[in-house]
Amino acid sequence: MMTVYNNNGHKVPVQAMPNGVIIPSNGQMNGHFIYAGDQRHISEVPTQWRPTNWSRENLLGIKGDIMSFTPSDPSVTRTRILMIGLVGAGKSSFYNTIDSVFRNRITQRATCGSAENSLTKNFSSKLPVSWWNFKIKPSANDRVHCIAFVIDATSVDVLSKEDLHKIRTFQELAKERGIVQTVVLTKIDTLCKDVKRDISSAVTSPVVETAVQKVADLLRLPRNNVFPMKNYENETELDDKISILALSALRQMLHFTEDALQKKKEEAEHAKWPCNIL
């Protein structure tokens, strides 16, 4: 006879299925229940505020989608995503996270860390713009197609007015140019201990959900433009859940970019019409 307890510490009559799944036998409890290892606890599987499939199959599917993605505009051969964020926000780590998934091992091609002389800081303002590389008339291929504001999730509540002003300035520029705006909300593992324990909690944690909502409100963007992220930073092995979080963000950025390119194309075609019928 097995004794299990629910989240409130009450005994729950259960029935063990042959596959090891434990279900309440009195039918009085709603929802789904899981058996949590040796602790002999059952807890309700929380609702995902952003439905996510954590299976290996899904990871491979997303990876395939990204590898085979081609913008429908033939003048754009590669989608350019510009990461903007404060020093230490996790830009290099996000790059490395994506790179790691595609190289099937943890990589560190972008130098990251919190050292005073980090690469990001060295490149800040002292280097002159190389004019011979600067394109006054960039082609569709040279342009930035998507901006990813990289924001440390633990900094959302303490974002200074100056930093917010800087972000808004970039947003204005992006809006004028029809550039897609997204947010990569890093370090959600330090925001919520459930996420630290299990990355899949990223899409069930109310703490993360609130942070996503706050950033969306702050930047006046739809919630689905904000991607909660846990970068590879301490891991030495790949983890499907971290990879899924990162790749689904990247795939979404590519899809949004494609939508924006199509919108631009439609607008250009409409502009050729002799008159507008309203």
Ligand X SMILES: Nc1nc2c(ncn2[C@@H]2O[C@H](COP(=O)(O)OP(=O)(O)O)[C@@H](O)[C@H]2O)c(=O)[nH]1
Where do contacts with ligand X occur on this chain (CB under 6 A)? 85, 87-93, 112-114, 118, 120, 150, 186-187, 189-190, 229-231, 233
Single out the residue of 96, 120, 155, 186 in contact with Mg ion (rule: CB under 5 A). Answer: 120
CB of 116 to Mg ion, least distance (A): 13
d(CA 187, CA 229): 6
Q: Is 96 in the site for Mg ion (CB under 5 A)?
A: no
Query: Which among Mg ion, ligand X, none contacts residue 257 (Cβ within 5 to 8 A by kind)?
Result: none
Q: Which does 87 bind (CB under 5 to 8 A by kind): ligand X, Mg ion, none?
A: ligand X
Q: Which is nearer to ligand X, 81 or 229 (CB)?
A: 229
- What's the token pair of residue 211? 């942070």
Interaction partner, residue 46 (Mg ion, ligand X, none; CB < 5-8 Å by kind):
none
User: Shortest approach of ligand X to residue 122 CB, angstroms?
Assistant: 11
Regarding 186 and contact with Mg ion (CB under 5 A), the answer is no
HEC states along 165-234? HHHHHHHHHHHHCCCEEEEEEECHHHHCHHHHHCHHHHHCCHHHHHHHHHHHHHHCCCHHHEEECCCCCC
Q: For residues 249 and 255, give the distance between their C-alpha atoms in angstroms, rounded to a whole number.
A: 10
97 binds Mg ion (CB under 5 A): no
Q: Is residue 93 close enough to count as binding Mg ion by CB under 5 A?
A: no
Q: Which does 155 bind (CB under 5 to 8 A by kind): ligand X, Mg ion, none?
A: none
What is the secondary structure of 107-162 as a DSSP string? ---S---S-TT-HHHHTSSSSPP-TTT--SS--TTTS--EEEEEEEGGGGGG--HH
